[in-house]
Amino acid sequence: MANVTWRMKGQWMKNCNCAAGCPCDFNERPTHGHCEGMVGMRIEEGVFGDTDLSGLHWACVYYWPGALHEGNGTIKPILDANASEEQIAALGTILTGQEQVEGTFFHIVSLIISTVLEPELAEFEFEFNLEDRTARFAAPGLFETVTEPIKNPVTGDDHRAQVHLPSGFEYFTAEIAKASVNKGLGEIAYDCPDTHSSLAVVEHTDAGTVPYV
């Protein structure tokens, strides 16, 4: 149950080690049997109670030994070095599934995590173009990922695909692309180029995900 009203509206990226069109969106097992990668966003507009979150970034690198619903996940939160102490506390509360109703994205993720590594602050590098399916998100020494369009193997032209989840708790519609670079560089280390990328615009709140306007 939430005692604080909050919202985060902005640009969302999830890049993992699966083949393009992540099986998790279809309740299937990960392509390679385990799940590793990153998720994060730039908050265009956001508040946590009276604390403004607009303009901040956050990310998590993660590892699950099997399918996500089987649990035992490990995550490392990475928070914006430009955030104040109040903003850091607010983001930490949200990302660990607190101050929100059951069934929200971060609450569900909190139930399938067994280890939360010590959060770190970072100066993020962030680029995002939803229409072109291009993006870059990096925290030096912690992770780097680059998204580009999927290519038609015959013509070399850009190939566009979307996943639409009418009852989605992470997003409702995502552009599916390729993570040409997808590296974890710190405690959670991985290197899985040419794998799955989801790009979306989202609005998460203490009551759940709402349509982005």
Per-position pLDDT tens, the chain of length 213: 578 999 999 999 999 999 999 998 998 999 999 999 999 999 999 999 999 999 999 999 999 999 999 999 999 999 999 999 999 999 999 999 999 999 999 999 999 999 999 999 999 999 999 999 999 999 999 999 999 999 999 999 999 999 999 999 999 999 999 999 999 999 999 999 999 999 999 999 999 999 876
Domain membership of residue 61 (yes or no) is yes
Domain membership of residue 148 (yes or no) is yes
Domain membership of residue 183 (yes or no) is yes
Check residue 129 and give its pLDDT: 98
Domain membership of residue 152 (yes or no) is yes
Question: In sequence order, what DSSP letters do the residues of 149-202 get, joined into one string?
Answer: -EE-TTT--EE-EEEE-TT-SS-SEEEEEEEEEEEEESSSEEE--SEEEEEEEE
Check residue 211 and give its pLDDT: 85
Check residue 3 and give its pLDDT: 87
Q: pLDDT tens digits for 123-147? A: 999 999 999 999 999 999 999 999 9
Overall number of domains in the chain:
1
Check residue 213 and give its pLDDT: 62
Domain membership of residue 11 (yes or no) is yes
Distance CA 90, CA 138 (A): 22
Check residue 1 and give its pLDDT: 56
Domain membership of residue 1 (yes or no) is no
> Sign of the C-alpha dihedral, residues 86, 117, 106, 197?
positive
Domain membership of residue 171 (yes or no) is yes
Domain span including residue 108:
6-209
